[in-house]
């Protein structure tokens, strides 16, 4: 509008204004507050298109993105887990093994859909203060187990949380000159069975050819089984059941010369809940 408007009757709220042209005429009929109607003249060329700017629209910071499938879960792994699921029959007892196999398969499926969760890993650090299991003992000083010139056999009891899944064993130490044998084993044995044949090796670390300073990691393994049977066997070996088994570490060393030495500084067990 080319002129300002002024109120001449506040009770009726009449608006009047100068009339420079018929197109800018303002209606002067009384009206109530809240129902004001005016006429705004259109000015050609007053509306301009807004140019498009590539990249002007950016995602809002913090917008959640769809999670991606975790690395390491392949179709083959999933097929092995699914193939290992037993078929339920009337009268059969559903054991923890059945449940854990089903759980593992569901987690693998969720991982491939991008909805999996990260399982935290815990580490238990052990000091290698071995109990003697024969006259051939490890010497222990300053937190390190040592054997020089001869044979050493020792056992270290291990108390793991019930229900966890053992993942790895790490052995840190040193080796000097040639060794006929140098190994550290994680084993389990049924609580009511004292026969040596009942002992099962869960993880074996072979250190005879390790470097002068070594940090060796080994995992639970089985041999001589097909893929599906191996997956079932590994899960059974990984699962800690303190109601059925006792767990311990055995360290054996046999030097190959009078100058050979074996040193074990630290043993670590990694497990998941």
Work out the percent of the chain whose per-residue pLDDT is above 70: 69
Query: What whole-number distance in Å separates Cα of residue 252 and Cα of residue 245?
Result: 22
pTM of the predicted protein model:
0.60
Bigger pLDDT: 203 or 108? 203
**Which of 79-83, 205-209, 266-270 has the least mean pLDDT?**
79-83
Task: Enumerate the domain spans of the chain.
Answer: 1-40, 75-112, 121-272
DSSP string computed for the chain:
--S--EEEETTTTEEE---SSGGG----S---TT---------TT---PPPP-TT---PPTT---PPPPPTT--HHHHHHHHHTPPPP-TT----HHHHHHHHHHHHHHHHHTT---PPPEEEEEE---PEESSSS--EEETTEEEEESSEEEEEEEE-PPTT-EEEEEEEEEEEES-EEEEEEEEEEEETT---GGG-EEEEEEE-TT--SEEEEEEE----SS-HHHHHHHHHHHHB--TTTEEEEEEEEEEESSTT-EEEEEEEEEEEE-
pLDDT for 46: 57
Instruction: For residue range 206-259, list pLDDT tens digits in order.
Output: 999 999 999 999 999 898 888 888 888 999 999 999 999 999 999 999 999 999
On average, the pLDDT of the chain sits at 79
If we measure between CA atoms, which residue out of 252, 268, 179 comes closest to residue 215? 268
What is the topology classification, in CATH, of domain 121-272? Jelly Rolls (2.60.120)
Of residues 50 and 98, the one with the higher pLDDT is 98
pLDDT tens-place string over residues 163-179: 999 999 999 999 999 99
Rounded to an integer, what distance in angstroms lies between the CA atom of residue 147 and that of residue 102?
Answer: 46
In whole angstroms, give the CA distance from residue 41 to residue 63.
44
Question: Which has more confidence, 257 or 54?
Answer: 257
Query: Biggest alpha carbon distance in the chain?
Result: 121
In this prediction, what percent of the chain has a pLDDT beyond 90? 50
Mean pLDDT along residues 179-197: 95
29-45 pLDDT, tens digit each: 444 444 444 455 556 66
Q: What is the CA radius of gyration of the chain?
A: 39
Which residues are CB-contacts of 240 (< 8 A; sequence separation ≥ 6)?
160, 161, 162, 163, 164, 165, 166, 247, 271
CB distance 114 to 68 below 8 Å? yes
Q: What is the pLDDT of residue 107?
A: 78
- Check residues 51 and 23 and name the one with the higher pLDDT: 51
């Amino acid at each position: 509008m080319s002129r300002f408007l002024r109120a001449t009757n506040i009770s009726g709220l009449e608006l009047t204004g100068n009339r420079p042209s018929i197109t800018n005429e303002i209606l002067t009929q009384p009206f109530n507050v809240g129902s004001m109607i005016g006429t705004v003249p259109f000015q050609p060329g007053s509306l301009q298109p807004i140019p498009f700017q590539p990249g002007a629209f950016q995602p809002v910071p913090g917008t959640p993105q769809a999670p991606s499938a975790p690395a390491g879960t392949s179709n083959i792994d999933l097929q092995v887990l699914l193939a290992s699921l037993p078929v339920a029959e009337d009268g059969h007892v559903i054991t923890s093994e059945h449940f854990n196999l089903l759980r593992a398969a569901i987690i693998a499926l969720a991982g491939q859909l991008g909805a999996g969760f990260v399982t935290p890993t815990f580490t238990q650090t052990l000091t290698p203060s071995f109990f003697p299991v024969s006259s051939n003992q490890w010497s222990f000083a300053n937190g390190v187990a040592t054997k020089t010139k001869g044979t050493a056999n020792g056992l270290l009891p291990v108390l793991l949380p019930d229900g966890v899944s053992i993942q790895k064993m790490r052995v840190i130490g040193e080796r000097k000159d040639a060794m006929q044998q140098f190994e550290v084993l994680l084993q389990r044995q049924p609580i009511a069975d004292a026969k040596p044949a009942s002992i099962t090796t869960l993880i074996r670390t072979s250190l005879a050819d390790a470097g002068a300073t070594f940090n060796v990691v080994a995992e639970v393994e089985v041999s001589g089984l097909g893929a599906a049977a191996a997956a079932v066997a590994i899960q059974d070996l990984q699962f800690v059941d303190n109601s059925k088994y006792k767990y311990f570490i055995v360290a054996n060393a046999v030097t190959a010369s009078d100058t050979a030495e074996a040193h074990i500084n630290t043993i670590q067990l990694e497990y998941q809940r």
